[in-house]
Structure formats: structure tokens, C-alpha cells
Structure 1
Amino acid sequence: MVRKKGDVVVTTVDASRVVDEAVGEKGGEVIRTGVGDVRVASEMRRRGAVFGGEPSGAWIFPGSGMAPDGPMGAIMTLELIERSGTRLSSMLDSLPDYPVLREGIPCGNGEKERAMAVVRGALKEEFRAAKSVVEIDGIRIEFEEGWILVRPSGTEPLIRITVEGRNPGAAKEIMERGSACVRRALRSLD
């Protein structure tokens, strides 16, 4: 999708760092939004993005409309294969495969806002050596070895934790620290 330096790609806060690496290699810029294709489309309009999508498979191509378009995604994938002369499996094999772990911790819908305020502070303290902190749709904390995203579920009475690590050991360590921190923070609300 990125054809020239400065092209913008919009994705959600829960997307893999593989997106940043692949877009960055082509000279593009990644902008993150909260989860949901409506948020992605809105930011795409605002930034004049060349592509937007989220890990759920909702891909948005501004030339064909500002809504997820599965058939266009298939067409664009086939066009990429034809243009590159490379098998799709080879393209995918060339990308890093970072392990992802997920956990849901019960939290009543009426408590999520208060809970997330406490969780944000606790996570910032726990991971104070972080490379960056992004507070969009929860809190995403990034490190050299991976990242953690903690956000309230929009559909269930849960606080969701997503972790991506450069390797399984890093993912496990980040999840263990993050999950324990979130659980401690939630217990402090009682």
C-alpha cells in the first residue's frame, strides 16, 4: 500500500508492531486509533491515508470507499502477488512472527472507567522503563522486547490484555507482569 515516502497507513492500537516495521521500511508513517473500523476510517479521512485496517481483517481502501471491503482486499492481494512475482506464502514468511498472548479479566461494565484510571497509573509505575506510552482506547506500553495493551472490552464485562513479544519468553514475561499488575489494581478498588 505504501508507494512513496510519507504515505500514511492507519491501524488500531492493538495491531502488531510488524505493521510499523513493514510500513517504516517503505518510508511510510503509521497512525494508530482506537479499536473499530469507524475510528480507522475517520482518521484515514483526516490524514489522507493510503490504507487502513485492523487485525480483525477489516481493510479499508480509500479509492473504493471508506468502509471495510473484503473483496477489494482480495483483489489488492492478488495484484500485489502479480506485481511482485512472489508467492503469497513467501511474502508472509519474510515477515517476523511475533507471539501474541491475550487475557480477559472480569470487570463490571459500570466499573470500567474507574478501573482503567487506576490500572493506567499502576501500569505506568510497573513499566516505568517503557520506550513509549500510548493512551488511546486504553493504554499501550511499548518496550524493545514487545508491548502490552490494556483496554476495557466494548462488548463484555472484561478488561482485555493483549501482549506481543519479540519471542515467546518476552511475551510471557510481559503478560505475567502486566496481568499481575492489573489484578492488583482491580483488587485495590474493593
Structure 2
Amino acid sequence: MTLIKSISGIRGTIGGRPGDGLSPVDVVKYAASYAKWLESQSNESKKTVVVGRDARISGEMVEALVCATLNGMGCDVVNIGLATTPTTEIAVTKEKAQGGIILTASHNPKQWNALKLLNKDGEFLSATDGQAILEFADNEDFDFADVDDLGTTVTKDYTDIHVQDVLNLELVDVDAIRKADFSVAFDAVNSVGGIAIPALLKALGVKTIVSINEEPSGHFAHVPEPLPENLVETCNIVKTSNVDVCFVVDPDVDRLSIISEDGSMFNEEYSLVAIADYILAHNPGNTVSNLSSSRALRVVTEKHGWKYTAAAVGEVNVVAKMKETNAVIGGEGNGGIIYPKSHYGRDALVGIALFLSQLAKSNLKCSELRKTYPDYFISKNKIELTPEIDVNVILDQMKEKHSEDEVNDIDGVKIDFENEWVHLRKSNTEPIIRIYAESVSPEASDALAKKIITEIKSLI
């Protein structure tokens, strides 16, 4: 059993003894600690919290525990039930709530679940706020409400509200999409995408929809992370379905991967790249992604005459950097699209609508659109070290070794070369250095990774 307590939330495998897995006792403790934190954030006598969940098998149980605990802490709850992560985020602001809890373990397998915690803006917590909640939990520093002060729970459905918000975005061209008469497939990996994506596509005027793994049963048909190795069967279905494009999401629908009409992967790194290209053509401005994302976004941004900035890994860091640089589009290379005119959170529904608008106006096939962008390939590796080795010292030595290159050390060490880069990050839980290398071919990225690994080993 596994329980991971971090500043971004609590996640773990269902079952086990308290403290070993995500047991009911742990769910109650951390939900209560979150409510305690809310007390310190607002003078409102009665706090309101939005709760939404993906379709995991354990979701209904965890939902009941969280809602009851929040009521027990005196909080009113707006339970929006089965909902995407971005749907829950926008519901927080629309309800003028003091916060929100998303019950999802994102791309993790079915035995996992998590409490992801939001502030009053529907955004993930800062490191300081997350740490405060962990301390409340460690000390069990919370008091449940007296009987006359218990909270209440109401249920609402926010899917249609979210879909309408997407349709209202200026650069979502419903007329162009309708006229293009696209045939669109989607793979919802048996979670809430099976509810939200058909609703969106129908609202966009798509008449021919091919659903794959649509039923939100929580029994994931394949490994739920939308990576090429997990989508072989989906790609084969696309090849024989005569569709124009296929959209693939993770269980909570904050990551978007695209499959072209010929069954080839558009590449999840390029979901953000293509959508950013479309946004910048109509709404000039800066862009942001994290340090481990493809250089292609930087190339596209500079092509439009604007500035690209890299942020530390993690959605909260990307959002902070986007606000700092007034970025008009940003996100993460894992298919996370953050469009501030909608909200500051990764949102696959926004990504789908913007991409279909772009595809409709381009008069290109999906595979042809992909060929308009520069090719980069990422190689992901790691080095396991013995516990006595100080990883920080190794990273400092690598930084010094490459002092004449372009080096960014806000999150590990990223070294930019002329046509490639390598990013070195230490694990927070293991004596491991993760090594991401990107270059203009798979062979070149692998060669760069091996070169850097050799350099690191020479320092050990």
C-alpha cells in the first residue's frame, strides 16, 4: 500500500492500514485538515467547498467520506459528482466557494485515488498553503463542528455549464467546425471524459462521433496515461474508422493527446504546440511551459515574434510564471493546455475546441498540420544512485561543467545546446536523477542522454 502526502494533495492506493494507504481514516483526516486551513483563509462564517470526482471505482466511497467530513467541519458542500478536473476548477469560482477538492488520481491506475486541493480561485495550492494543511494533519489540529453548526450538501451538474463556457471563447469557431463536418473519435479511458467529451462535440456541431472506452465505469480499458505505448489499440481503431481526428484524455480530462486520421500519434508534446500556434496567430503574446517540455513551443512562439519562458515542473509553477509574464497560452508537454481566457488550469475540453477550430480553418488533414511543426524527440532516462551520494552536489558539478552553455537551475539543471537540451532533476523520494533529453531525432536524443549519463557517472 502507498500513501503520498505532498503540498499538492494526498494520493495513495485504496485500502490498507491508516497511514499506509488511502484508507477512510486518512481521507477524513486530510479533508478535515483542509477545512481547518480554509478557516484561516476567509472571514466567511460558513465556508463553501466544491467537490467533484472522476469515475474511479473508489470514487463514490471517497466522495461520501469527503462530503461528510466537510459537513462535520461546518462547511457547506456543492457536490458536482462525476466531473472533469477543469469542470471542478471553474465550479469553484462560479459558486464563489472558498475552495474545492477534486477526487482523482489523474493518470494513475485504478487502485489509486487522491484528494487534489484548490483555493478560492479554483487553482492548485501554493507550496506554503499545502504545507500548512500537512502540518494540521500531522498534529490532528482540527475541531469538528457542534450539531447546530454542521454544514449541508447540495448536488449540481456542471458539465453543460463548462461546455457552454468553452463555446463562448472567442477563438472557438463553432461555425467553422460545423461547416467542416468532421468525423471525430475520442477515447475516454472509461472515466468522466465519456460524459464531457460527447457533450462538447455535439454542442460544437460534430455529427459523426466515434466513441472508444466511453462508459465511465472506472474499469480502465488500457493504462490510463495517454502515451503512445498505451494507445496502440486506439490507433488501430482510428485507422479503420475513417475519422478526421481522435482525442484521447486521461481519467480526469486535464491532459489531451491527439491521434491523426491515419492512426499516427500527433505527439502529446505537440497538443500545446499546435494550439499555441493557433492562439498566437489571432492573439499575440508570450507563452510558458515547464522545463521538461518540447523546444517546439519556443520555436513557434519566436516565429510569431513573442517570448517563451520556461517554468519549474508542476502546474502551479507554470500558472505562476504565466501570470508573471502575461502569457496568452501555456501548459505542459504532457498534453496540458492552460488558456487564461478560460481559466488557469489544464483543460482538455478547451484544447479540443481550439484544436478543432484550428483544423477547420487550416484546410489541412490532421497529419498534414502536424508536419508544419519542427520535429523534436524526447528521450526519458534515469540514473539510480546509492543513498550516500549527494544528488545536489552532482547537479552543481554538472552545472559548473556546462557553465559556458545556456543553463537554467530553477528546477534541477537544464542545459540548452544549439539544437537540443537535457534536463536533470532529482527525485524527492528516491536517490535518482531523472534525465530528459530532446533533440532532432530519436537517435540524437538517445545519444545526448547517454553522453550526459556518462558525464554524471564520471563524477560519482
TM-score range, shorter chain: 0.7 to 0.9
Q: Counterparts in 2 of 1:10-29, with a 5 A limit?
A: 10-29=288-307
2:435 equivalent to 1:161: yes
Contact 1:10 1:30 in 2 (8 A): yes
Relative to 1, partners in 2 of residues 1:23 and 1:129: Cα closer, same or farther, differing over 3 Å?
Answer: same
Q: Counterparts in 2 of 1:104-123, with a 5 A limit?
A: 104-107=382-385, 114-123=390-399
Runs of 5+ unmatched residues, structure 2: 1-278
For 1:87, the equivalent position in structure 2 comes to 365
Q: Counterparts in 2 of 1:40-119, with a 5 A limit?
A: 40-107=318-385, 114-119=390-395
Contact 1:101 1:163 in 2 (8 A): yes
State the alpha-carbon separation in 2 of the partners of residues 146 and 181 from structure 1.
Answer: 17
Runs of 5+ unmatched residues, structure 1: none
State the alpha-carbon separation in 2 of the partners of residues 119 and 151 from structure 1.
Answer: 8
Q: CA deviation at 1:12?
A: 0.5
Relative to 1, partners in 2 of residues 1:10 and 1:25: Cα closer, same or farther, differing over 3 Å?
Answer: same
For 1:175, the equivalent position in structure 2 comes to 449
Contact 2:399 2:407 in 1 (8 A): no
Contact 1:4 1:26 in 2 (8 A): no
Q: CA deviation at 1:148?
A: 0.9
State the alpha-carbon separation in 2 of the partners of residues 154 and 4 from structure 1.
Answer: 40
State the alpha-carbon separation in 1 of the partners of residues 376 and 441 from structure 2.
Answer: 6
Larger radius of gyration: 2
State the alpha-carbon separation in 2 of the partners of residues 156 and 55 from structure 1.
Answer: 24
| Other structure's SS at 2:334 match | coil
Identity %: 26
Contact 1:138 1:149 in 2 (8 A): yes
| Other structure's SS at 2:364 match | coil
State the alpha-carbon separation in 1 of the partners of residues 418 and 338 from structure 2.
Answer: 29
Deviates more, 1:90-99 or 1:151-160: 151-160
Deviates more, 1:174-183 or 1:60-69: 174-183
State the alpha-carbon separation in 2 of the partners of residues 101 and 121 from structure 1.
Answer: 22
The one-letter code sitting in structure 2 at the alignment partner of 1:89 is: S
Q: CA deviation at 1:71?
A: 0.5
Contact 2:378 2:438 in 1 (8 A): yes
Q: Give the counterpart of 1:141 among 395, 403, 415.
A: 415
Contact 2:379 2:442 in 1 (8 A): no
Q: CA deviation at 1:157?
A: 4.4
Aligned residues: 182
State the alpha-carbon separation in 1 of the partners of residues 399 and 446 from structure 2.
Answer: 16
| Other structure's SS at 1:63 match | coil
| Other structure's SS at 2:281 match | coil
Contact 2:296 2:373 in 1 (8 A): yes
State the alpha-carbon separation in 1 of the partners of residues 325 and 367 from structure 2.
Answer: 32
Q: Counterparts in 2 of 1:30-45, with a 5 A limit?
A: 30-45=308-323
For 2:50, the equivalent position in structure 1 comes to none
CA RMSD of aligned residues (A): 2.3
| Other structure's SS at 1:180 match | helix
For 2:258, the equivalent position in structure 1 comes to none
Contact 2:391 2:431 in 1 (8 A): no
Deviations 1:136-188 (A, max 9, x none): 21111111241111111356542100111223443233212200122233x2x
The one-letter code sitting in structure 2 at the alignment partner of 1:150 is: L
Relative to 1, partners in 2 of residues 1:111 and 1:159: Cα closer, same or farther, differing over 3 Å?
Answer: farther
